[in-house]
Amino acid sequence: MKKIGVYPGTFDPVTYGHIDIIKRSLKVFDKVIVAVAPSLQKAPLFDVDERVLMIKEATREFKNLQIEQFEGLLVEFVQRQGGTVIIRGLRAVSDFEYELQMALMNRKLDSEVETVFMMPSEEYTYLTSSIVKAVASYGGEVKDFVPEIVLKKLKEKLGKKNK
């Protein structure tokens, strides 16, 4: 039986921290599905189709990786995909309380779906999509934090010339 892990998020935009979690997840699971949520609550800079395309471009060399958008309950998406594990990144203790609540609720909704927490490499522990967008919106350099496709799309969207 194939072990399928689902890595959900808004990925607005995808960062090297996300890609780090994807790479390491692919060492653990036979297949990883990146599940891109629309997340209207967060008022994303990029629409869901743009985010899916950026992730596909940034991860095109990875094998056994699938990028999908989803709406609704995550556990139902995981079930439809034949997955059994939700992959979540934890950067700091501040992430833990929220992630624990979500994991426990998902377990209550479907006791067959487990949540696995992965810590990013040290160099990405402070990195968030929100920080990247904030820095880029003021014209700051973000090339060390995001793939080339994201850098290009940030410049287009924000109309700023990064150094």
| Catalytic residue of the set 25, 88, 129, 133 | 129
Residues 23, 56, 91, 107: which is the catalytic one? 91
Is residue 18 part of the annotated active site? The answer reads: yes
Concerning whether 88 is annotated as a catalytic residue, the answer is no
User: Cα separation of 150 and 142, whole Å?
Assistant: 10
Residue 91 catalytic? yes
Of 90, 43, 44, 51, the closest CA to residue 68 belongs to: 51
Catalytic residue of the set 18, 51, 88, 133: 18
Say whether 138 sits in a helix, a strand or coil.
coil
- Active-site residue flag, 108: no
Q: Buried b vs exposed e over 80-102: b needs ≥16 C-beta within 10 Å?
A: ebebbbbbbbbeeeeeeeeeeee
> Catalytic residue among 2, 3, 42, 60, which?
42
Residues 6+ apart with CB under 8 A from 67: 33, 34, 36, 52, 55, 56, 59
Q: Which residue has tokens 């599940």? A: 35
Catalytic residue set:
18, 42, 91, 129
